[in-house]
Structure 1
């Protein structure tokens, strides 16, 4: 019986390592798909809808590379509280926000946002929320300054100045 334990342990370890590698590969592929869904032609940015039905826009938040989830239902840009702590963002007070999951309390922070394609929003107030997930939410405080058009699974952002 004692001879079975090492063999069983090796088999279990093999499957755990294999499972972890598959999981990491799927996560990595998902990130690459999100980034590959952006094309820029002149002053037009096209975001293709991801498999999960959302639009993602790669960029930076205070110089850190991130992929924003485009959220036209959010009035304000929101970032994970863990990211705010990593970036050592100073709190400008607390705010209560209505979310799909109910009312939550977050911290107000200032951020610099740069989106691939040339969109910049400097010193914008955002809310840092616990339990938000990995992706920051790009809200209408930034998106509302842009001309958006959605059709056939593509979100088209026209960056040309209005005439």
Structure 2
């Protein structure tokens, strides 16, 4: 019976250490997923994220989002769930070519703002109901910017 308190103490210590390691890893993972950008003299510099992509924080109709910069996307695309939360109105039904093939989608309008002060009011966006993942920042926005990529850095500014 004397070993029980000692065993309980060791178990408590190991549980506390395990919890600290777990919390430390959660903070590290959260920090690694945070978009990395700097804004200087009207120029936004994005650092490639650990997932290999460039992410640009912004808003859609005031809702904070983390856009995935997608030069292969013709238009800015939103997941259907986000569009529903925002109450976007369907304006047209369209076919959209995705990496997974052709899907039916719809278009609506939204106010898009990007970190760095860039705004695109009333932007026509494509809504893909079954889309998983973050909204895609497409060429409809990116072509309006001067983009320069140098390795793991993407610089964007107005021309």
TM class by shorter-chain length? 0.7 to 0.9
4+ aligned runs moved over 2 Å, structure 1: 28-36
Specify the SS of the correspondent of 1:50: coil
Residue matched to 2:80: 81
The Cα shift of 1:29 comes to 5.4
Aligned length: 141
Residue matched to 2:154: 155
Mark the runs of 5 or more structure 1 residues left unpaired by the alignment: 1-17
* TM-score (normalizing by structure 1): 0.78
Matches within 5 A, 1:10-159: 26=26, 30=29, 32-159=31-158
Specify the SS of the correspondent of 1:53: coil
The Cα shift of 1:93 comes to 1.7
Separation in structure 1 between the aligned mates of residue 157 and residue 78 of structure 2, nearest angstrom: 25
Separation in structure 1 between the aligned mates of residue 29 and residue 104 of structure 2, nearest angstrom: 30
* TM-score (normalizing by structure 2): 0.80
Q: 1:36–1:134: structure 2 CA closer, same or farther, 3 Å change rule? A: closer
Whether contact under 8 Å (2:35, 2:57) holds in the other structure is no
Mark the runs of 5 or more structure 2 residues left unpaired by the alignment: 1-17
Larger Rg: 2
The Cα shift of 1:130 comes to 2.2
Residue matched to 2:11: none
